[in-house]
Chain A
Amino acid sequence: MKKLAKFSKLLVILCLLFAMTACSKASEESSAQGGQSQSAQGAQGAQGANAEPKLIRLAESFCYTSLDIHKDYYGWYTSIYGVSETLFRVADDMSIKPLLAKEYSVSEDGKTWTFQIADAMFSNKTPLTADMVSRNLQRAARENERFAYLASFTYATEGEKTLKITTPDIYPTMLSDLTAPELGIMDLDNTTDFDNAPVCTGPFVIKSFEPEGTVVVEKNAAYWNGEVKLDGAMFYYMQDDETKLNAMQAGDIDGYTSVTAAAKQILAADPASYVLTEIPATRLQFYVLNKNRLDDKVRQAVNLTVDLNSIADFLGGTVSPAVGPFSAAAPYGKVTKPAVDTAKAKSLLEEDGYVMGSDGYYAKNGETLTLSIGYYAARSLDSIAVLMQDQFKNVGIKAVLNVQEDPDSTYVATGEYDVALYCMIADKSGDPYYCCDALFRKGSKWALAGFANQKCEDLIDQLQYETDVNQRAKLANQIVQMSIDDNAFGYVGLFNKTTVTAKGVTGIAENCPFDFYGVSADTDVNK
């Protein structure tokens, strides 16, 4: 018994010691964060001794383990944090505006681009030079597989501020590519810790970075492009939608994006406290109809059956019904598609030899018309699959749902589907080529569904090298219209970017359709 008592005491003491150690460690971390706040306050103190620091607290669904702009998608977040900037940026209306490059010109053969670098400087007050830009782009090519193509360009500088980039072929998407947040510019000579503290040109500088945790930024006192209204910002990593909603309601955060339909309802009920902003964004939900397994009339019947408005209603306004892959507001989003017509869908099936059976489904040669819908449970595709199944049932088409965790290595790779649901960013940075190339090319992963054809391929080739913006839009519209007319694709919805902010909070890119912008010099809090 005595030994038991001794053992129990020892166990309790060990546990307490462990807990205390953990707590003291946590306290150290906590006080470190407190120090950051004080530091942010200190920055404010320079402006007014007794003034409250203007800080904003935001929740983010993602937080990576590194801030190295050129690697993976880390640059998206340094851009959201207002730390890094690119040569060009995409405006809210999807037009491309100069940022770190103040001017550009392109040679007659379309292969040499000349950029005049703006009179920008890094947060350490080092002026930005063309050489630094050139080295950044080359580093991105080395560090990021998606930008490896930049290594095939040649870079030359003239003086401090002129950069010439020569491409092997005509490269009309140069400006659009340079808006990619992964091509943000760092001071490569003076950044000593790329993972935790990149030195950049943005309106904010990293104060503290906790990998996959909280990120604290403070005002860049040396910002080159105007007055920064805020003293600092905190970004809390919150994956859970309920946690974000609760944090918003508790007043722990000042805003977040990707508000769910349920949260939107709750927050909209209190307009005195919250401002909801909703705009169609760039993430597209679509389906592919397998031409190798479905004949023309069945595909046409399917497209006449899918009611996008009722899907959008069901999804609580989190998506906007799509006509094509791009926003109808963009010049390359001007396409049309037939309205829902279930009577016509039925007559098409009957013309095709299908007969309505006693079970309420069409059948031909004794075989019920059954479609396999491949989908994965993300981005509301699971809801869409069920809604489509129900809509198909109403016209007499039976649908079997095939859910997979990884679409790319299952139904997309094998082509074993009649209808394949998918979601991707359709407009990466204000240009249609990337999407046309990814969806309609002969070598694309969707080619197994049988859409790719020479006419389309020729148009995409033209789009690849076309330099006139209006002509590019025209070509893109032609290509997308072909996919619609051929009943090869169905565009369901463009995800809305729904942002909630506390009253008085403005400028957190709530009107920008792209996901990779966040706080800026204009972000303000006036509660």
Chain B
Amino acid sequence: MIKYVGKRLLHLAWIMLAVSFLTFLLMYLTPGDAASKKLSAQGVAVSEEVLMQTRENMGLLRPFFIQYGDWMLHAMRFDLGVSFKDGFPVAEKLWKGLKNTAILMVVSILLSLLAAVPLAFLAALKKDSVFDHGIRLISFVGNSIPNFLISVLLIYFICVRAKLLPVVADKSVRGLILPCLALSIPIISRFVRQFRAEFLEQLGKPFVAGARARGVKEFYVLRDVFHNASINILTIVGLSVGTLLGGSVVIETIFRWPGLGKLAMDAITNRDYPVIQGFVLLTCAIYVTVNLITDISYHFIDPRLRER
């Protein structure tokens, strides 16, 4: 196991190197730079002289490999530099964004699992019933509505019409309700469809028919079905972490939640290379680590994997 983990962590280093290089290259080739974005942030025209001086100060006039090499040398010493936009340490900005995104992500995934697992299980057990069709239809609709529309509808009905929650929420539990709901609705819808398919596959397996034929109590049959399906469920959840890390930018903007998604989007808009590079490294590390944890957890869930 230790050898396996070590090997995966070695892969992580290579992946991070490749991803950081590709990202740096892509940003370098993309028109526009941090200096012009910073100087014209409020729509004020600046002279070419001021622009060039700012580029010089930011080190943007250096050749590509010098810029990348310089960044990489610092990154290897865990120094991600400072943001071009405001001069604040990138690590500090990422940590703040990560904390906020993690809160949103963990709560949303928990909420999604709490709703999706029983619904999918029941829909699979009552396949082709009215309940099943209803769940499938709702999950289809929930999956189709874009995040921003769900957010706006939630705000309109819950805050403006019913006045149950404020639009201007802080980072308290009350402030967490709407963004988590907005984020969870599409996830629940997707999970329900994926989990239902997984449960159905397990329910159709010969061991289920065999167990039932032997008169095994239904509770134990379903427990085994659930157990067997849990490996793929875990994979689906693990993969959705990556989506949630960068994909909640709309939610973060609408609900004023300063997370990683919004940080990354702002950094891209402002061509803030140090922040973009830091974000890419962080998400890459999280994504690979979550998947590693998911893979390791298979060993706990499936004894056959432990024997291999």
Contacts and interface: CB of A to CB of B under 8 A. Distances in A.
Interface string A56-91: 010000001110000111001000000000000000
B42 A19 contact: no
Contacts of A4: 227, 230, 300-301
A18 interface: yes
B253 interface: yes
Interface residues of A, number: 63
Interface string A427-450: 010000011011100010100000
B32 A253 contact: no
A283 interface: yes
Interface residues of B, number: 56
B159 A283 contact: no
Contacts of A524: none
A23 B36 contact: no
Contact of A253 (B168, B173, B258): B168
Contacts of A27: 172-173
B242 interface: no
B160 A249 contact: yes
B54 interface: yes
A438 B107 contact: no
Nearest to A437: B47
Given A4-B230, A66-B86, A283-B43, A145 B57 contact: yes
A243 interface: yes
Nearest to B42: A73
A283 B297 CA distance: 57
Contact of A18 (B102, B156, B170, B175): B102
Contacts of A19: 103, 106-107, 110
Interface in A1-35: 1, 3-4, 7, 15, 18-19, 22-23, 25-27, 29-30, 33
Contact of A146 (B39, B88, B175, B301): B39
A423 B168 contact: no
A246 interface: yes
Nearest to B156: A246
A64 to B, nearest CB: 7
Contact of A409 (B33, B152, B258): B33
A72 B38 contact: yes
A252 B171 contact: no
Of A246, A253, A439, most B-chain CB atoms within 10 Å: A246
B64 to A, nearest CB: 16
Interface string B144-173: 000000001001100110010011101111
Given A15-B106, A19-B107, A237-B256, A33 B170 contact: yes
A74 B13 CA distance: 39
Contact of A23 (B172, B230, B256): B172
Interface stretch (A344-352, A365-373, A400-408): A400-408
B41 interface: yes
A213 B258 contact: yes
Given A236-B256, A243-B256, A409 B166 contact: no
Contacts of A379: 43
A406 B254 contact: no
B48 interface: yes
A269 interface: no
Given A26-B173, A252-B167, A428 B159 contact: no
A8 B89 CA distance: 37
Contacts of B36: 406, 408-409
A290 B228 CA distance: 68
Contacts of A23: 172-173, 176
A3 B50 CA distance: 64
B114 to A, nearest CB: 10
Interface string B83-104: 0011110000000000100110
B168 A405 contact: no
B26 interface: no
A19 B110 CA distance: 10
Contacts, number: 145
A3 B42 contact: no
A283 B44 CA distance: 9
B129 interface: no
Given A7-B300, A72-B86, A409-B36, A30 B172 contact: yes
A212 interface: yes
A146 to B, nearest CB: 6
A4 B234 CA distance: 12
A404 B256 contact: no
A240 B253 contact: yes
A18 B86 contact: no
A425 B45 CA distance: 7
A222 to B, nearest CB: 30
B204 interface: no
B3 to A, nearest CB: 21
Contacts of A423: 43
B110 A22 contact: no
Given A18-B102, A29-B170, A236-B168, A425 B43 contact: yes
Contacts of A240: 253-254
B206 interface: no
A405 B160 CA distance: 35
Interface string B217-260: 00000000001001000000000000000000000011110100
B86 A64 contact: yes
A247 interface: yes
Contacts of B110: 15, 19
B250 to A, nearest CB: 9
Contacts of A57: 168
Nearest to B230: A4
Interface of B: 30-33, 36-48, 50, 53-54, 57, 85-88, 99, 102-103, 106-107, 110, 152, 155-156, 159-160, 163, 166-168, 170-173, 175-176, 227, 230, 253-256, 258, 297, 300-301
13 contacts: A18-B102, A22-B106, A26-B172, A145-B50, A145-B54, A145-B57, A247-B168, A249-B160, A250-B159, A410-B31, A435-B45, A438-B45, A515-B42
Q: 3 smallest A-B Cβ distances: which pairs? A: A406-B32, A438-B45, A409-B31
